[in-house]
Structure 1
């Protein structure tokens, strides 16, 4: 049975070119090393996107408590389901799912099984470059990780392509050895190429994976030498030596054809989130505000948060979720936090402001300051009370009259959980904190 499994799972890989095959094997080795090192005491929950094109988790599926294999190929999905039924290709711990890259669909079907429980999430085979809204994708992925979870994600490396293009221009040669896994046809207007976006090593840590600390992200690039030579001009023994040199250089180099990022969610992040939530609860109790708390439901944005609460009908009854939008004056810039403008409003509304005068504070700046995506108004109130200066005086309420429910929802301080308050109690607290109506801002 194991021989049958092995032959079936890697059959398609042998139809790939040399670089593709060995890139997949390299990805598999990274995942195996990560799991064998971090999960010695228990069996991990594994999630892989783009499975059956490469099955990066092939070597570790049997070691998992549960594995969720998502494929967007209907043909691959049907084939693997039939094969699994016929010859029991996978154990009972493996779930085969058909999906699109719209993660809300995944949330609907599998939320309770993977939310905050996924120990390892794999986005392999360069799939990170195919995701159109990568920021939103990473938000959801981060929320699914367990307290010490690991994200493995791979991208096409812009640094590699820039280097090759530069060398070819200097030598007055056509582009070669590029995009082999994409079936690149040496055409800049290739429709297939337009579906992919390459990233540089520099911006992976600072921009793409900004939910994680830079120190908790390991970067590999692979392959480099194998990607700039003509494979058919060398015999197998030489190619093997070059491939081993690429592996040895993967951790230190930056010009490999693909970027592999391994990002760790650390224990201290979880502890910090818990302490922030405790501070918020203490603040509410200090002001004698009655509250109801759901600790295990949260999302990376308003839609995700509400989706995570589906099925909690009693808790959601007669409620409306509030959010906080942060603006800055264009003539002042966003570097001065004292000039920021905080506007509280229902989650299904947008702030009405003049584009010529105001702009949204960049998301990475907000994340760095608050550690939140859906900023809780109560978090702002708490910060205002802690400070003696005027940093949080620019507080406004938008669409207040549209709130007809008797209860409102706000997120916890670190997007961990959601809190339900009486509307009248919240309005009284907002008045005490000096929140002004929107027309005073406009």
Structure 2
């Protein structure tokens, strides 16, 4: 309860009593007049520095998370465009090939005895004939066909498709989406957000906030020593809490990013596998019908779907690498360990020498990182481009494979594909 001093002056004039009452003075204001303004300013400065620090950290974290999201969004959608182009081109080529075949069969077996067989074959090779063999492939690759294989993948990478993986990833990075990681993080760093950690620290440091430490000091309710002790603990503990909030938010965002990339990459690969299986199934169905009625089969080129700029095919099988091939100064470099082990060689790494030794049967291959002088059974096999590390993977010129293990290697510039034959 506030205490007041009232000064009453009694003046007797001409037999009259005149009472004059002075202005009311708050005792706390008297105390307040003695507070140390430099201390108040020091606390205010400390808080402002704390707020600025975590405001900048939040902005930096948000920028990084947004850039990471945007990069992956562009990557996965670019891969979908590649997939679209490949399967649409493939369907068009298959339809033309089979249509030409149908025309030739019609010319050859145009008699009435083959009419039903020709009609059945025509239906199966028509991509627009419902339930036909080629129609099954056409619908599987169509991202706009409800519940198709490609439709499911397209929706999961769509940030506007509710509950999709990309939708969830996008919202976790959105400070305006209620309940998201970035929303919580943003609010905790906001001194104007009710109940936020930063607001509590600002209020404790504010000489005008009722109940705050510095307010109690200003009005004389606590001593300078007590104020220093309390505000130091408040700000020290508060900074620790802010850092914990930041660490948790960054960890949560990183986990969402990694989980999303992992799941969508796996879904992409599963989608490709399913599309290729449907293609194989459709062609087998068509060829079975053709062989049954007309004899023989058509030779159809395999469809190669890869999202690496440079592809490697060993004995007709597309390879997948953790570190894909790269083009360095006009030379194609491939991951040595992955390919050599695929070819049956045993690889060992010498960390001291920074060298790799590969052994297959009676053949021993030795090379050092940065060297253009690898050896095969002790005989030098000079290279134009040295072996080098790319993202911690030993990469060697593709020609080195043929010169070391005797495989037949060819390069197709148009499709950016390395073909390796061991047989």
User: For this structure pair, what is the TM-score category when the shorter chain's length is used for normalisation?
Assistant: under 0.3
Greater RCO structure (CA 8 Å; 6+ sep): 1
The structure having more radius of gyration, on CA atoms, is 2
Greater helix fraction, Structure 1 or Structure 2? 2
